[in-house]
Structure 1
Amino acid sequence: MTARTTFASAAQQLDLFVGTSAAIAARDAQDLMAWPFFSLAKSKRVKPIDFRMGDISILVEATAEHGMATIWDADVLIWVASQIVEARDAGKPTSRLIAATPHEILAFTRRGTGKAAYERLKAALDRLQSTSIATSIRQLGARRRHRFSWINEWRECLDANGRALGIEMIVPDWLYEAVIDRALVLTIDPAYFTLTGGLERWLYRIVRKHGGKQKGGWSFDIAHLHLKSGALSPLKRFAFEMRAIVRRQPLPGYTLSLDHQLGRERLSFVAIPVDPFDVARRRIGMPPVDKSV
C-alpha cells in the first residue's frame, strides 16, 4: 500500500477543513507551552526527552533520519491551533484533516516565502510526523499514556503538471482535543515568531502560560525550569543562558528578573501593562506605537 493510498484511506473518514488566509490571532495549546515536548536546538537531536513530574510523564522519541521536532517546527502546530480556534469561535466546522498553502503557514509564522523556506517547511513537517510522543497528560490515570505523532500524515497536493497546489495534514486526536477546548488555549503575542533562540521561545511559552496577565506575575527556581525545559545542556550552562536572557529582556509583553532565595536562583516574570490599541496593532503584524517620541 502506498503512502498516497494510506493517506486517502485515513482522509475518507474525516471532513476536510480549510483554514482562512485572513490575519488572525496566534493561539497556542497550554499543554504544549507548559511541558517539554520539543528540541530547543537547531542541530539534530535524537536523544529522547524522558520527563517525569508527579503524575505527568512525557516520552519524546526521534528517528535518526529526521531528528526530533524542534520548537521552530512547533510553529506549524501554532498555525493549526490558531485556525481551528478561529473557525470554532465563528461557529464553523473543524476537522483533524487540514488543508493549507505553504505560503499561508510561512506568512503567519513570519518566515520567508521563497523556495528555500518551502523546503524548510517540508523538513519541519517530516520531523513533526516522525517524532513520537507518549504522555499521561489528559489521561484518566498516571499509568495510562497516549501515544501519537504531532502530524499523523501529510502530503503535497499537485496539479496535472506537477505544480504544488498546497498541503494536507492530519493532526492527532490528542492535539485536536487540546485546541478545541477553550480552557486549554491561550493567545500569544505574534512577536513570538521573531524570537530567534530556542531557549527564548521556550521561555516565552512558559511565561505566557504561568504568568498570564497577573499583576503579581510568577516565578520559578532555575533548577525547576531546567528540568521542565528538557534541554540537553547542564544546569550550569542553562543558568548562564537564563541570566543572558534576563539582561536582554527579549520576551514580548513581560519583564524578567532574577533573585536568590535560600541559596537558590529564581526567575520572576511579570506582564507589562499594554495599550489595547497596541494589542490590536500587533495582531495584524504591526509594531506597537513608539511612545518615547
Structure 2
Amino acid sequence: MESTAKARKGRQQPSHAETQGVLDLVAGVQPEPAQDTTSAKLPTPVKRERPALLPLRHTDRDFFLADLFDYAMKDDGASMEAPIFTLSTKTDLSTWTWESKDGNRSVEVYPSIKGRATQFDKDVLIYVVSQMTEGLNRGRDDAKNRTVRFTVHDYLVSTNKPTGGAEYQRLENALERLRGTTIKTDIRTGGQRVKEGFGIIDSWMIIERAPGDERMIAVEVTLSKWLFNAVQAHEVLTIHPDYFRLRRPLERRLYELARKHCGHQTMWSIGLELLQEKAGSKGSLREFRRMVREIIEADTLPEYRMTLNDADKVTFYVRNPQRLIAGLTKGNKADAVHSYTRNPKRVPPKPGKSKQ
C-alpha cells in the first residue's frame, strides 16, 4: 500500500493552467511572447529562412511494387529506449555508458576508428527492420533469416534521400560505422537477456556494382542477434514517414522517445534533465534547453507537439485534436499524463510490447 501511494504521488496531475494551455494549442491560440526589457530592440536583418523540414523528394513510388511496397516504417523498441546512436554530426570517437534509473538495464557503446554510429545511420536499420517485419507479417520464410538483401535505390527513396552518387558513398560509410560500433548490454529482446558485446550489425556485403562505376547496386546486411530477436518478437513500433524529413538528429531522437513513451496515451511528461539523458545529448543542460525550445518553436515533430514550462518539464502532446481533448476530458485527467520524475524511490513502469 505504501509503495502504491508513493507511485501515485510521483504522478503529476496537470493543473488547470496546463490543461487550458493544451486546449489553447488545439484551438490554435498562441501564447503571448515574453517582452524583452533587458535591451533596446534593434531592426531584425532580413534573411532567407530555410524550411524546417527536408523536402519530400519522392512522391511516385510505383516502382516499389517489385518488392514490399505497402509496408509501414518500423523502429525497434530496444534502440528507441536507449541512446545507442550519437547525435553528433562529426566523427564521435567517445564511448557512451547509459543505465536506467531502476538499475536493471544498461548499455555501453564503443566506437570504431570510423566513429560511433549516428542517428542518421539508423535509417539503414529502420529500413531493414521494416522490410523484415513486413515479411514476417506476410508469412515469408526468408524473413526468418538474419541477413537481408536490398537494392540501394529503393533504400534511398524509402528514406527520402537524394539518389545521386554521393548518397551511395554515405551509405557505405554508414554501414562501416554500424558494423564497427560495439554494444555491451543486458536489455532483454524477444524475452532473452543478451549480456555480451556485439556489433549493431554483424556484417555487410556489396552484392552488385553498376557497370562502369563504383556505385553499389545491391547490399546484404546481417543483423545482430540482439536486434534480430526484437524483430522476431515484434518488439517494433510504426513510425511516421515524415521522420525522414527531420533535419536534426535531436529532432529524430525526441520523436522516437515520444512515439515510444506516449503509446496509446494522449500525452507524456518528463523532466528536462532526464529527457537529456534519454536522448543521449552530451552538451550542458542549458544548451539542451535551448535546442529543445528551438524544436518547440519549429513544431516539426510528426504526430506530436511539445511544450516546456518554467519548471523544466517537457510535455509531448498528440496532434490529433479529437484524441487529445478526449484524453484531457476523461474522468481522471491524471491518466492522460505519464510523468517520469527523478525520485530514486519511484521505479518507472517498464514499457509494454506493441502489437502494431
TM-score, structure 2 as length reference: 0.66
Partner of 1:76: 124
Give the match for residue 109 of structure 2: 60
The partner residue of 2:218 within 146, 166, 170 is 166
**Aligned residue in 2 for 1:251:** 301
Partner deviation per Cα, 1:203-235 (whole Å, 9 max, x = no partner): 0000000012422x1111000011112222111
Q: Which residue of 1 aligns with 2:77?
A: 30
Whether the 8 Å CA contact 2:251–2:295 is kept in 1: the answer is yes
CA gap 1:30/1:159 in 2 versus in 1, 3 angstroms: closer
Cα distance in 1 for partners of 2:197, 2:71 equals 31
Deviates more, 1:127-136 or 1:242-251: 242-251
Give the letter aligned to residue 280 of structure 2: G
Contact 1:21 1:104 in 2 (8 A): no
- Max Rg structure: 2
Q: Report whether the alignment pairs 1:204 with 2:252.
A: no
Structure 1: distance between partners of 2:209 and 2:309? 59
Aligned-partner Cα distance in 1 for 2:281–2:210: 45
Tell me the amino acid that sits aligned with residue 271 of structure 2.
D
- Structure with the higher fraction of residues in strand conformation: 1
Kept in 1, the 8 Å contact 2:153–2:217? The answer is no
Identity %: 34
1:78-136 alpha-carbon deviations (Å, 9 max, x no partner): 01110111011111121111111111111111111121111101110011000001111
| CA displacement, residues 17-72 of structure 1 (integer Å, 9 cap, x when unaligned) | xx9352421010111111110001111101111111211111111122x1110000
Please name the residue that 2:137 is paired with.
89
1:106 to 156, 169, 172: 156
Counterpart CA distance in 1 for 2:177 and 2:121 is 8
Q: How does 1:94-173 map to 2 (within 5 A)?
A: 94=143, 95-138=145-188, 145-158=195-208, 164-173=216-225
Match for residue 18 of structure 2? none
**What is the number of equivalent residue pairs in this alignment?**
250
Which residue is equivalent to 1:237? 287
| Structure 1 position 200, deviation (Å) | 0.4
Task: Output the CA distance in 2 between the equivalents of 1:51 and 1:238.
Answer: 18
Q: Determine helix, strand or coil for the equivalent of 2:201.
A: coil
Aligned counterparts, 1:185-200, within 5 A = 185-200=236-251
Q: What is the distance in 2 between the residues matched to 1:273 and 1:160?
A: 45
1:145 positional shift: 2.0
| Equivalent of 1:20 in 67, 76, 91 | 67
Tell me: CA distance 1:213–1:80, structure 2 relative to 1, closer, same or farther (3 Å): same
Gapped runs of 5+ residues in structure 2? 1-65, 323-356
Task: Give the corresponding residue for 1:175.
Answer: 227
- Distance, in Å, in 2 between the alignment partners of 1:131 and 1:223 is 26
Aligned residue number for residue 14 of structure 1: none
Alpha-carbon distance change, 157 to 235 in structure 1, aligned in 2, over 3 angstroms: same
The answer to whether the 8 Å contact 1:212/1:271 transfers is no
Structure 1 length normalisation: TM-score?
0.80
CA 1:25/1:236 → structure 2, altered by over 3 Å: closer, same or farther? same
Note the C-alpha offset of 1:271.
Answer: 1.1
Aligned to 2:327: none
**Distance between the aligned counterparts of 2:231 and 2:211, measured in 1?**
37
Partners in 2 of 1:86 and 1:71 — Cα distance?
Answer: 23
Q: 1:21 to 1:107 in 2, by over 3 A?
A: farther
Q: Secondary structure at the match of 2:120?
A: coil
Aligned in 2, Cα 1:203/1:76: closer, same or farther, shift over 3 Å?
Answer: same
User: Are the equivalent residues in 2 in contact too, given 1:152–1:171 (CA < 8 A)?
Assistant: yes
Contact 1:20 1:83 in 2 (8 A): no
Alpha-carbon distance in structure 2 between the residues aligned to 1:30 and 1:119:
28
Cα displacement (A) at 1:238: 0.8
Matched residue, 1:223 = 273
CA-CA distance at 1:159 after TM superposition: 6.6
